[in-house]
């Protein structure tokens, strides 16, 4: 089943959700700010996305700028930062089996659904 890791306060995430709704396909909404992801779940998503953990970080977030910017962090430390501060996670993330995209721009979602 398709999953969308969603933040309703984000316009790109809302637009991504609309794309899924309009697709007519079944999907699951995961509100990752309310139901925090485990480090393992985040690692799995990063693996499917085929990116490095740092590429999933919202680097303009105040939390990142104040606590992590300009520090040398391991992948594990970056993942732990996102687990502890889920606002740092880029959104929306759409996972469909062994394919995934960050919906920025949201039209990328069409490539995997």
**Residues of 17-51 as b/e, b for ≥16 C-beta within 10 angstroms?**
bebbeeeeeebeebebbeeebeeeebbebbebbee
Catalytic residue among 4, 5, 7, 10: 10
Q: Quick check: is 10 catalytic?
A: yes
Could you tell me the two tokens for 17? 């959700």
Which residues are the active-site residues? 10
């Amino acid at each position: 089943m398709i999953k969308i890791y969603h933040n309703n306060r984000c316009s790109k995430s809302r637009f991504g959700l609309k794309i899924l709704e309009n697709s007519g396909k079944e999907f699951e909404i995961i509100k990752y700010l309310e139901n925090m992801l485990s480090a393992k779940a985040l690692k799995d998503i990063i693996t499917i996305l085929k990116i490095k953990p740092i590429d999933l970080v919202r680097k303009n977030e105040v939390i990142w700028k104040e606590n992590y910017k300009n520090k040398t962090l391991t992948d594990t430390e970056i993942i732990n930062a996102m687990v502890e501060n889920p606002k740092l996670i880029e959104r929306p993330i759409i996972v469909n089996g062994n394919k995934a995209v960050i919906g920025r721009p949201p039209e990328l979602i069409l490539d995997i659904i």
